[in-house]
Chain A
Amino acid sequence: MAIIEISDLVYTYPGASKPSIDGVSLTVEKGEFVLITGPSGCGKTSLCRTFNGLIPHFYQGELKGKIVIAGQDVTCQQTFDMAKHVGLVFQNPENQLFALSVEKDVAFGLENLGIPRVEMRKRVDWALNLTGIYDLRERSPYEVSGGQQQRVAIASVLAMQPEIIVLDEPTSFLDPLSAERIFDVIYKLNQEHGITVVLVEHRLDLTAKYTNHLIVMNKGKICLEGNPREILCSDETSHIGVGIPKATLLYKRLKMNGFNVNKQIPLSSDELAVQLLEALNK
């Protein structure tokens, strides 16, 4: 069942001379883990903003086409109605944090949904623990570091347990190990609870392994879509300027040099290391 259905979407911000989204059609099935990448300014963030109705309701501007999320026509629904279905983690955590303590920020969405106190307590602690910020719960979100703020933003969305989680470069301020832990948590929620995940990322080194539905955007359009192994190995992808994982790139180079590698294109260093050990031990 499709949970995101977008057809022929064209969107222009107020005062902008050309559209930021220029003819996008996209279907995401329930339970998928989708990864969106592409050069900066290609429309990734704008597309995310349509999933919960921030575009067009908050940003206004001119919109053509159809956006149906979790069975709701976004253009006819209020943003607060969409928030029950879609959780959006912003690129800049400072744009989404405002409460006096980390814990209150994480509880805010639940308060607005009218979740009973006992359940709220449980979910807040669960989200704080998952993101490794339980010890920061009494602190002000403004006095913690950039990476810690990002974890607060992620926790506040996880706590709401929406059907769809949309994350716009959610770990850009995080150290690599913390980023990997957060991605693992999100992947687990996707696998075990069937939550649909849409992740926007430049760092495919860290994230390509989680998905089998990769979308490459360029100039407001979707230009490549499908299996990440094939897309990342294609020449078209290098041409657009997508940061290909080093393991995939090394595989491609070795193959070009006539080195006998496996048919399976690797997305992670583990996958390539196994192939190389086998090939070099022959």
Chain B
Amino acid sequence: MGQNGAGKTTFIKHFNGLLKPSSGRVCVNGVETTKTSVAALAKNVGFVFQNPDNQLFSETVEDEIAFALKNFGFDKETIEKRVSWALDFLSLEQYRKTSPFLLSGGERKRVALASVLAWDPETLVLDEPTIGQDHEQKEKLRHFIMQLQVKKKTVVMVTHDVEFVAECNPRVILMCDGKIVADGIAKEILTSPKLLEETSIVLPQIAQIFTKLAPIGLPTDVIDIDEAETAILTKATAGRHR
């Protein structure tokens, strides 16, 4: 996370070798990116661009999703199976034969996501995956990311969506002017007004509420709505018994 122009997108483009470091080293799965090709890295590192229009080009949604699978040499049956899975998972089945360019912004973003999820890469790099997505799609994406975690896959996400981050509760790295300024768990970073102000991020709503409730003795490091509900109800009950 970090303000516009902080270098987030530039940074993650190093993860699949799209950009190579001017100095220093970037190793992905133990291999230095300068010593291999983007094509070789791509199989392990799936990259979903911020703007889907920069990555879509096929005539139908189905072809778009099958493209990478064909290039990686999967057999026909597997391709069909994986394409159908991705279409179903991202609620795109009805658009199978439609041109991606006829779809809405949010739908195009999902086609871009589907085309990468389809080959099931070990590491997933997502640049602003929640843009244009409604509540239901975001919930689905969050559940999917949680599943990947169980499968021990790596997910790197760039996002400005503080509410989404609060719900995922990941490790958060804050960037500012091309540097990393903080690295820690979401609960700590997203409840630090000073750090967030420096990086042009606002506190999630729950954290904003609890910052204001600090004077009456409630904790300030709350970002989760369930935790918030429990804390307030407990406080209210304690007040009544006093």
Measured CB to CB, the residues of A under 8 A from B are 13, 15-16, 38-41, 45, 91-92, 94, 144-148, 169, 172-180, 202-203, 205, 241-247, 249-250, 253-254, 257, 259, 268-270, 272-274, 276-277, 279-282
Q: Tell me whether A241 and B200 are in contact (CB under 8 A).
A: no
Nearest CB of chain A from residue B1's CB, rounded to whole Å: 8
Q: Tell me whether B208 and A41 are in contact (CB under 8 A).
A: no
> Which applies to chain B's interface (DSSP): helix, strand, loop or mixed?
helix
Q: Tell me whether B229 and A250 are in contact (CB under 8 A).
A: yes
B3 is contacted by which of A172, A177, A245 (Cβ under 8 Å)?
Answer: A177
Q: Tell me whether B4 and A272 are in contact (CB under 8 A).
A: no
From B29-37, B63-71, B131-139, the one touching the partner chain is B131-139
Q: Tell me whether A41 and B204 are in contact (CB under 8 A).
A: no
Q: Tell me whether A246 and B225 are in contact (CB under 8 A).
A: yes
A13-B102, A91-B132 given; A176·B229 CB < 8 A: no
A145-B4, A145-B9, A276-B209 given; A39·B136 CB < 8 A: yes
Q: How many residues of B contact A (CB 8 A)?
A: 50
A178-B4, A272-B209 given; A39·B105 CB < 8 A: no
- The 13 listed contacts between A and B (C-beta, < 8 Å) are A39-B137, A40-B104, A41-B104, A94-B53, A176-B200, A202-B134, A202-B135, A243-B138, A250-B229, A253-B225, A259-B233, A269-B206, A280-B235
- A176 cross-chain contacts in B, Cβ below 8 A: 160, 162, 200-202
- A94 cross-chain contacts in B, Cβ below 8 A: 51, 53
Nearest CB of chain B from residue A94's CB, rounded to whole Å: 7
Q: Tell me whether B232 and A280 are in contact (CB under 8 A).
A: yes
Q: Can you add 14 more A-B contacts, CB < 8 Å, to A41-B103, A92-B105, A243-B163?
A: A15-B102, A16-B102, A40-B104, A40-B137, A147-B5, A173-B4, A175-B2, A177-B197, A179-B160, A246-B225, A247-B209, A269-B205, A280-B216, A281-B216
Nearest CB of chain B from residue A199's CB, rounded to whole Å: 14
- B232 cross-chain contacts in A, Cβ below 8 A: 250, 254, 259, 276, 280
Q: How far is it, in angstroms, between the C-alpha of A273 and the C-alpha of B218 when the chains are bound?
A: 12
- A276 cross-chain contacts in B, Cβ below 8 A: 209, 213, 232
How many residue-residue contacts, CB under 8 A, span A and B? 151
Q: How far is it, in angstroms, between the C-alpha of A141 and the C-alpha of B197 when the chains are bound?
A: 27
Q: Tell me whether A174 and B4 are in contact (CB under 8 A).
A: yes
Which residue of A has the minimal Cβ distance to B166?
A: A246
Which residue of B has the minimal Cβ distance to A238?
A: B135
Indicate if B128 sits at the interface (CB-CB under 8 A): yes
- A273 cross-chain contacts in B, Cβ below 8 A: 208-209, 212-213
Q: Tell me whether B9 and A146 are in contact (CB under 8 A).
A: yes
Q: Tell me whether A282 and B239 are in contact (CB under 8 A).
A: yes
